[in-house]
Structure 1
Amino acid sequence: MAIDLSGVLTAVLDLVIPFLELVAALIILGGGVWALTIFARRRDAAQARREFSHALLLGLDFTIGADMLKLARAPDLSAAALAAGVTAVRIALTLTLLREERLAMAPHPPST
């Protein structure tokens, strides 16, 4: 009795990919709710934006993982382009967030 590993792998990926996409959506949604809560309580738009940015980046990590698994399951040009696009957005957001955090933490010269 031979086990069809390809079929097993496809079945596992058919479960894992939607799970990763759901986790990504929940993280982004939760981050949005948390950011709104911070803004409503403290009126600190900068902190709320940073919190949402972190949640968005984490959610995009899960989305990238799901896209890579889709690409492994059925490699085609459109899946590769989608994965590349999401990864590019993730990189751009990371660089922007790091730049904003550095600017926020930099000592400001006293005003005259």
Structure 2
Amino acid sequence: MDRTKMFQHCYALKGRLQAGPNFRQRGSTVASTFTAQLEFSFREAVKLLVVDDDADTRQMLSVYFSGQEYSVATASSGKEALDAMKRNGHFDLVLLDLVTS
């Protein structure tokens, strides 16, 4: 994926997070409860973990999300991601590169 497409995906993701979940179903207690919990958690800074072995990608995503009510942590490997989760507790969102070297 080239850098332009990556930025477009980041903007699209940011828009979906700010808009909140749009998957409510009438009469669904589980969906309504989950939606309410998500909306409540998004009032505070969203804790985001970016996991990617490419340093440029990590930096770009970190810079993009850091100034917009996101608390961003980064990791360059699965091991670093697990260590970050142990140190920081839970994350609201993890952006994960599935193909790492």
For Structure 1 versus Structure 2, the TM-score category normalised by the shorter chain is 0.3 to 0.5
Whichever of the two has the greater Rg, that structure is 1
Instruction: Please report the TM-score for the alignment, with normalisation by the length of structure 1.
Output: 0.30
User: Which of the pair is proportionally richer in strand?
Assistant: 2
